[in-house]
Amino acid sequence: MLTPEVRKMWGGRFEGSLSPEAQAYSFSLQHDVRLWKQELQASAAHARMMGITGMLSPHEANRIVDALLEIHAEIEEGEWLPLEEYEDIHTAIEARLYEKIGALAGKLHTGRSRNDLVATEVRMWLRERTTNLARALLELCQRLMQLAEQHTETLMPGLTHQQHAQPVTLGHHLMAHCWAFIRDLSRLAHAGDRMNLCPLGAGALAGTSFPIDRELLAAELGFAMPAPNSIDAVADRDFVAEYLFVCALLMVHLSRLAQELILWSTPEYGYVELSDEHTTGSSLMPQKKNPDIAELIRGRSALAIGNLTSILALLKGLPLAYNRDLQDDKPLLFATLDTVVPSIRLMSEMLEKAHWRVERMRAALRGDFSTATELADYLVRKGVPFREAHQIVGQIVRECIQRGITLEDLTVEMLQRHHGRFEADALEAIDPERAVCARSLLGGTAPEAVLKQIEQAKSWLGVIEHQLNELLNPN
Ligand code: ARG
């Protein structure tokens, strides 16, 4: 039977105990149970280190490490699970250790605190989850690059202000989304670098007088180095805020792409048909095919933005060092990561399974005046100042609209009435294929430029992948 002192980690100075309501309000096991593996790893590293520095005999250290391994197996096999009655995962595991090895369990907590433990374990958990997140993002980028490669010659109207602006290629447009995700991946790698310092040894806040080898602990647990300041080590949650920012921005990027898929799958656009796997019907209207998954991705960006705002609010004005407020970083982090990874995966899947109706995109360029700029540029090449050329072509567009015709209906004679420099080849300028192919400069929408851009994206991704590998697989 466990003594009350073991069921919780404190109690000696108290006569009474927490009210049931206060207990329910403050216990965090339902959230931090997710840190069980990290709790066991950090504890085993601590025990081994204690054996090396003489804080425990080698025999004691081995007994603790073996018992921790047993607990690991028990949890993995579902034989024992931390129960709700414990305050948090640290308390639950220590109590289980006590059940296994008795009073020796009480030596493990020498020179450490839940404050440095939790700050360490959240970092470790996040590092592990970064692998999944990074893989999902990388796959999304690869999917977009693959689609872009298939659509370097698929023309569509490029928009500004939601109005037809100039023709672009679908490949170019998809790569624009891809670059945003490449930046997200790079932000993830950099945030990971800053997070990768080990708080263990900071104790509650002031460090410890026991011979704790912080370098050894950091190395054992895969960190780049020990955190340099014991107060900062337990009070800092910048890494949580940074991750939540990276996730929020990433979800915002996903929401922009989702919104385009939603628009493009309307009958008005008809650029894309989403697969049955990612759409739903209506309980009332038999004809409906709704883009629910894209809508949910768009909508769930709200949760990521909200959680970013919450962590900033949680930290605002919080005095150093540890305060219990910090316990509530975890639900925010967990819920965000739980949302972001499936959102990315589903977006990749949706892009893969979508049917792209390229003829509809091409048709949308007919009669849409989106090559009017080409006519102005034509005059510029003949020596007319751009401002004047712009004015003249504006008048041509106005005349077309008044007469109910399009640029394609223009004749050379009509053009010449507006400016004497127009010649027969001016009519070729308004061809969208030609307009697109002419934009072969670096970063342009011409097929060859988009292919170069894809190569560039691949090499950037290679560099980021390398950075991430160093972070995630340090040894
Ligand atoms: N459950 C706590 C948290 O997640 C662990 C640290 C508790 N420390 C304390 N002094 N109450 O933040």
Measured CA distances, 401 to 214, 375, 407, 413, 414 (Å):
76, 16, 10, 17, 14
Closest ligand 1 atom to Cα of 90:
5
Q: In terms of Cα–Cα distance, which of 360, 338, 353 is closest to 294?
A: 353
178 & 286 share domain? yes
pLDDT of 12: 85
- Give the residues across from 169 on adjacent strands: 155
- Tell me, yes or no, whether 456 lies in a domain: no
Give me the amino acid identity at 374. Answer: E
Question: Based on the structure, what is the number of domains in the chain?
Answer: 3
Regarding the beta carbon of 324 and ligand 1, being less than 6 Å apart is answered yes
SS3 assignment for 144-195: HHHHHHHCCCCEEEEEECCEEEEEEEHHHHHHHHHHHHHHHHHHHHHHHHHH
403 touches 339 (CB < 8 A): no
List pLDDT tens digits, range 371-397: 999 999 999 999 999 999 999 999 999
CATH for 376 = 1.10.40.30
Regarding the beta carbon of 28 and ligand 1, being less than 6 Å apart is answered yes
Query: How confident is the model over 191-210, as a mean pLDDT?
Result: 96
182, with CB counted inside 10 A (0-12, 13-18, 19+), is: buried
How is residue 9 annotated by DSSP? Answer: S
Closest ligand 1 atom to Cα of 32:
4
pLDDT of 470: 86
106 touches 7 (CB < 8 A): no
380 & 403 share domain? yes
Regarding the beta carbon of 88 and ligand 1, being less than 6 Å apart is answered yes
The helix (H) or strand (E) run that includes residue 50 is helix 36-53
Closest-CA residue, ligand 1 atom 5, reads 114
**C-alpha to C-alpha distance for 198 and 236, rounded to whole angstroms:** 12
In the reported structure, the alpha carbon of residue 92 is separated from the centroid of ligand 1 by a whole-number distance in angstroms of 13
- Tell me, yes or no, whether 178 lies in a domain: yes
**Residue 21: pLDDT over 90:** yes
Regarding the beta carbon of 118 and ligand 1, being less than 6 Å apart is answered yes
Q: In terms of Cα–Cα distance, which of 210, 219, 153, 203 is closest to 361?
A: 153
421 & 301 share domain? no
Give me the amino acid identity at 319. Answer: P
Closest ligand 1 atom to Cα of 322:
10
In the reported structure, the alpha carbon of residue 76 is separated from the centroid of ligand 1 by a whole-number distance in angstroms of 24
Best mutation site among 38, 115, 334 for ligand 1, i.e. most ligand atoms within 8 A of its Cβ? Answer: 115
CATH for 329 = 1.20.200.10
The domain of 420 spans: 372-430
**C-alpha to C-alpha distance for 284 and 290, rounded to whole angstroms:** 13
**Residue 6: pLDDT over 60:** no
In the reported structure, the alpha carbon of residue 29 is separated from the centroid of ligand 1 by a whole-number distance in angstroms of 11
4 confidence band (pLDDT: 50, 70, 90):
low
**Residue 85: pLDDT over 90:** no
Query: How confident is the model over 391-406, as a mean pLDDT?
Result: 97
Mean pLDDT, the chain, integer: 95
Measured CA distances, 146 to 142, 152, 362, 417 (Å):
6, 10, 20, 47
**Where does a domain end: 364, 382, 405?**
364
Write down the catalytic residue from 17, 282, 355, 466: 282
Regarding the beta carbon of 327 and ligand 1, being less than 6 Å apart is answered yes
Neighbours of 287 (CB within 10 A): 6
pLDDT of 3: 57
**Residue 15: pLDDT over 90:** no
- The number of residues in the chain equals 475
List pLDDT tens digits, range 167-196: 999 999 999 999 999 999 999 999 999 999
**Residue 1: pLDDT over 90:** no
Q: In terms of Cα–Cα distance, which of 396, 402, 349 is closest to 136?
A: 349
Regarding the beta carbon of 112 and ligand 1, being less than 6 Å apart is answered no
Please measure the distance between the N-terminal and C-terminal CA atoms of the chain and give it in whole angstroms: 42
Strands (E), 328-415: 355-356
218 & 335 share domain? yes
Regarding the beta carbon of 116 and ligand 1, being less than 6 Å apart is answered no
The torsion angles phi and psi of 270, rounded to 5 degrees, stand at 65, 30
**Residue 8: pLDDT over 80:** no
Residue carrying structure tokens 């949706």: 350
250 & 214 share domain? yes
103 & 141 share domain? no
**Where does a domain end: 392, 409, 430?**
430
Best mutation site among 27, 30, 118 for ligand 1, i.e. most ligand atoms within 8 A of its Cβ? Answer: 118
Regarding the beta carbon of 13 and ligand 1, being less than 6 Å apart is answered no
5 confidence band (pLDDT: 50, 70, 90):
low
273 & 205 share domain? yes
List pLDDT tens digits, range 122-147: 999 999 999 999 999 999 999 999 99
Q: In terms of Cα–Cα distance, which of 155, 178, 174 is closest to 446?
A: 155
Neighbours of 102 (CB within 10 A): 11
Regarding the beta carbon of 120 and ligand 1, being less than 6 Å apart is answered no
Residue carrying structure tokens 């991705």: 297
Closest-CA residue, ligand 1 atom 11, reads 324
**Where does a domain end: 364, 390, 416?**
364
161 is catalytic: yes
184 & 208 share domain? yes
List pLDDT tens digits, range 323-382: 999 999 999 999 999 999 999 999 999 999 999 999 999 999 999 999 999 999 999 999
319 & 237 share domain? yes
Show the tokens assigned to 126. 């996040």
Closest ligand 1 atom to Cα of 327:
12
Measured on CA atoms in the order 394, 361, 300, 34, is the torsion positive or negative? negative
pLDDT of 455: 98
